[in-house]
Amino acid sequence: MQTKNATGVGTAINRVEGYLKVTGQATYASEFQIENKVYGQGINSTIAKGEITSIDTSEAEKLKGVLKIITYKNAEKLKGFDEERPVVETDSIAPVLQSNKVHYYGEYVGFVVAETFEQAQYAASLVKFTYKADPTAHFNFGTKKSKAYKPSEESDHKRGDVKKGFSEADETIEATYNTPIEHQHPMELHATIASWKDGKVLAYASQQIVEDAVIAISGTFLIPKKDIRVVANYVGGGFGSKLNVERHLIMAVMASKIIGRPVQATVTRTQMFTNTGMRQANIQTVKLGAKKSGRLTALTHEILSHTSTTQEFQEPCGSMSKMMYKVANVNISERLIPMNLQQPFSMRAPGEATGSFALESAMDELAYKLGMDPIEFRIKNDTQDDLHEEKPFSSRLLVECLNIGAKKFGWDKRKEKPRSNKKGNWLIGYGVSAAARAAPYKETHAKLKLELKDKTVTATLQMDATDIGTGSYTILAQTVSEYLDIPVEQVVVQLGDSDFPVTPGSGGSWGAASYCNGAQSACENALKTLKKNRNIPDDEDVAIAELLKKNQITSYESEGLAIPDSAFEKHSVFSFGANFTEVWVDKDTGMYKIKRMVHAGSAGKILNPKTAYGQVIGGLTMGAGMVIAEQTRVEPNFGNFITRSFSDYHVPVNLDIGNIDVVFLPEEDKVANKMGIKGIGELGITSVAASIANAIFNATGKRMRDLPITPEKLVMADVEVGVEE
């Protein structure tokens, strides 16, 4: 595909919605000017398990402006779960305030509606709940391991004979890696302005997948989908947290139905810990065996995670271990313990982000033990076939990523011996890791409207897709620009409205590929039909304005549909990458600096290198956050999150990050889809934590297997046996 114009696919244009964002005019969920709206505020439980025995709303009700206090006693009846612990999906129902049972500390137990935000906030603090706590509450992860269960058949993957594999190995390592509870924490607090009028629901809401929000509302209130409209024109970050409908939205809809006015509900940052999803903690044990030559002979990866007591989610931490390396003997098992904690769900690269920390740290440990360069070790075990799916990869340029990245980074300057690169009080280290992330692609619909006025065509593209910061508006405008051969200035992209054609929404790294192929199809259909109508051959170049003129029309509408084909199904489709990090660790204080990072990635066609670069540095930054300080801690006696604000949960700040170079490999994966696009947003975070941890080992000789790697841990950690101080 040749780029024909300056704003087509592949060009580094500025974001088309940039002006709106930098001038404060992009409208996020709680910013629509809605007449007569009131404010809702959720109330959270203060026990981990048990029952509400009484509720006193009298003080709160006396307050000026308070309109309604909803608890299980007077809530609308909602659809409940049909089975025990159903699997969470992005369109799952979200029943709330349906009984006096409490399942975790922080669960919603009430919702206050008042005329103003201030009134609602204060009233919520005055509603008094009395509880009968159940002492069997379980919230300390790592204990009661015997309660772990196997969630599904896919939880185990076995190939070959690991016992035999390990017996053939010259060197083995076995280590346990711990990752804590993490929270997505998009900057925009989850918010909605929801109204129920004449049986119809309209919700401005921060959602990643508009269609699934409609399905969830429909399923929860048992009302037809056609009576629900969800609008999410701008979403202030998602990272998985806004994939599904969260319960403040359900409570706001319910409240609007009861009081007959639109209800605005913005969760607090503290509620972003307890009520809008999280990544659960994992305990992962990896065992690797290899020949002296560096060839892997066996791999086992055991994963223990937790889910809630009401729904089930298994973070697939074994996903990368299954397909990454050429190893014949593999055992992977994923187990779950139900706990009295919030339901975990997807956070950026669920499975890969955490699983890769274990796998890629273990690879580094074994390379060190073998006395082999960790890049060489990985290259030795490269495979062009997915041994788990038993399919060839559509394309896999991991070796190229490692080699090109290493050159860019200056890997040859790395000192092999740990703790040998010193400068003043600093210990300097280099680390590497490899990354793979599935590149899915899903059915997508689009509508294209063409208007001809004064010889100029304006193309309006409508999809229910969302732009959560990923650049959807821009790459879609570029796609239309490319295929209609008009500049982006003549393209209007309208997204995030359930009145528009259905897409899979933003999540799972399927957005760019699905959206753009859908838009491309709408363009292609328009051109085809307009040409066919005038008996113009398909391959003849006719400007779109000319084509409309020839058809003697000034407006035209077409639809697009993109859908995976059989070639996609026959292959295993992944994006690949390699991460390189240089860290400087203070030898005495345990503080460290991530001086610089290099990421080399092959993620199919790069639609816009500027926004793709943003995705990669964003992923690297969040990956750095996993190492620097991100963790949510559970209070061991009460079961609440003791980490409850942005001053406890430390996401990276500007000074935490060093320079980042990104090398894109030129790749168009036409097996993946027509436009050759693969996902990049989740590839960016995958294995970043391992590359930093490996660099810290190279710098200090300390093997840090528990995330995050804080100064307090580094100060207390011992240098590995055999490393010279």
Partner 1 sequence: MLKVNNSKQSLTLDSRTSLLDALREYLSLTGTKKGCDHGQCGACTVIMDGKRQLSCLTLAATCEGAEVTTVEGLATKGKMHPMQAAFVKHDGFQCGYCTPGQICSSVALLDEAKNGEASYLTEDVRKISKKLKLSEEEIRERLSGNICRCGAYNNIVQAFKEVHSGDDEMPTWEFATEAQMKSAKTN
Partner 2 sequence: MRPFTYTGTTSKDEALNAFTKTSHYLSGGTNLLDLMKEHVEQPDQLIYVKNLRYNTISANKDGSFTLGAMLSNAATANHKDIRTHYPLLSMAMLSAATAQIRNMATNGGNLLQRTRCPYFFETSMPCNKREPGSGCGALKGMNAQHAIFGYSDKCIATHPSDMCVALAAIGAKVEVQQPDGNSRTIDFTDFHRLPGDHPEKDTNLEPGELITHIHLPKPVLSNHYAYIKIRERSSYAFALVSVAAGFQIENGKISNIGLAMGGVAHKPWKLTEAEEFLLGKKPTEANFKKAADLAMKDAKPFEDNAYKVPMGKNAIVRALMQAKEIGK
Could you tell me the two tokens for 39? 């404010």
Name residues contacting partner 2, limited to 613-672 (CB under 8 A). 628-629, 633, 635-638, 640, 642-645, 647-648, 650, 652-656
Nearest to 395 by CA among 668, 679, 9: 668
Residue 715 near partner 2 by CB under 8 A: yes
Nearest to 389 by CA among 154, 566, 160, 571: 571
Among 99, 456, 589, 659, binds partner 2 (CB under 8 A): 589
Among 391, 550, 593, 674, binds partner 2 (CB under 8 A): 593
- Bridge partners of 447, per DSSP, are 462, 559
Report the distance separating Cα 56 and Cα 110, nearest Å: 11
Could you tell me the two tokens for 559? 């639809």
Main-chain dihedrals φ then ψ at residue 717, nearest 5 degrees: -75, 150
E strand map for 22-121: 38-44, 50-56, 66-70, 101-102, 108-114
| Inter-residue contact 434 to 401 (CB < 8 Å) | yes
Give the shortest CB-413-to-partner 1 separation in angstroms.
17
User: Which one-letter DSSP state was computed for residue 166?
Assistant: H
Report the distance separating Cα 85 and Cα 308, nearest Å: 8
Could you tell which of partner 1, partner 2, none binds residue 235, using a CB distance below 5 to 8 A set by kind?
partner 1
* Smaller CB separation from partner 2, 257 or 713: 713
Q: What amino acid occupies position 548?
A: L
Could you tell which of partner 2, partner 1, none binds residue 36, using a CB distance below 5 to 8 A set by kind?
none
Give the shortest CB-383-to-partner 1 separation in angstroms.
14
* Smaller CB separation from partner 2, 267 or 465: 267
Give the shortest CB-629-to-partner 1 separation in angstroms.
13
* Smaller CB separation from partner 1, 336 or 616: 616
* Smaller CB separation from partner 2, 566 or 647: 647
Residue 702 near partner 2 by CB under 8 A: no
Could you tell which of partner 2, partner 1, none binds residue 596, using a CB distance below 5 to 8 A set by kind?
partner 1
Residue 89: active-site member: no
Size of the site for partner 2 (CB under 8 A): 37
Could you tell which of partner 2, partner 1, none binds residue 591, using a CB distance below 5 to 8 A set by kind?
partner 2
Could you tell which of partner 1, partner 2, none binds residue 25, using a CB distance below 5 to 8 A set by kind?
partner 1
Residues 401-430, one symbol each (x = binds partner 2 by CB under 8 A, - = not), give ------------------------x-----
Give the shortest CB-254-to-partner 1 separation in angstroms.
22
Nearest to 494 by CA among 561, 441, 545, 448: 448
Give the shortest CB-657-to-partner 1 separation in angstroms.
5
| Inter-residue contact 450 to 544 (CB < 8 Å) | yes
Report the distance separating Cα 41 and Cα 64, nearest Å: 15
Give the shortest CB-55-to-partner 2 separation in angstroms.
16
Give the shortest CB-41-to-partner 1 separation in angstroms.
12
* Smaller CB separation from partner 1, 10 or 392: 10
Name residues contacting partner 2, limited to 100-159 (CB under 8 A). 118, 121-122, 125
* Smaller CB separation from partner 2, 102 or 434: 102
Give the shortest CB-174-to-partner 1 separation in angstroms.
27
**Measured CA distances, 704 to 2, 270, 711 (Å):** 48, 29, 11
Could you tell which of partner 2, partner 1, none binds residue 600, using a CB distance below 5 to 8 A set by kind?
partner 1
Kind plus residue range of the DSSP H or E element containing 600:
strand 592-602
Could you tell which of partner 1, partner 2, none binds residue 659, using a CB distance below 5 to 8 A set by kind?
partner 1
Could you tell which of partner 2, partner 1, none binds residue 440, using a CB distance below 5 to 8 A set by kind?
none
Q: Is 691 exposed, middle or buried (0-12, 13-18, 19+ CB in 10 A)?
A: buried
* Smaller CB separation from partner 2, 331 or 710: 710
Give the shortest CB-659-to-partner 1 separation in angstroms.
5
Helices of type H across 381-510? 398-409, 472-484
- In the numeric block, the tokens 């990354």 are attached to 435
Among 712, 718, 724, 725, binds partner 2 (CB under 8 A): 712
Residue 710 near partner 2 by CB under 8 A: yes
Q: What amino acid occupies position 573?
A: V
CA-CA-CA-CA torsion sign (22, 28, 30, 35): positive
Report the distance separating Cα 395 and Cα 416, nearest Å: 32
Q: Which of these is catalytic: 312, 682, 712, 720?
A: 682
**Measured CA distances, 468 to 206, 279, 337, 495 (Å):** 9, 19, 32, 11
Main-chain dihedrals φ then ψ at residue 369, nearest 5 degrees: -65, -35
* Smaller CB separation from partner 2, 592 or 697: 592
- What are the strands of the beta sheet with 66-70, ordered from one edge? 66-70, 108-114, 38-44, 263-266, 191-197, 200-205, 228-231
Nearest to 26 by CA among 248, 194, 206: 206
Could you tell which of partner 1, partner 2, none binds residue 715, using a CB distance below 5 to 8 A set by kind?
partner 2
**Residues designated as active site:** 682
Residue ranges in contact with partner 2 by CB under 8 A: 46, 118, 121-122, 125, 425, 588-591, 593, 628-629, 633, 635-638, 640, 642-645, 647-648, 650, 652-656, 710-713, 715-716
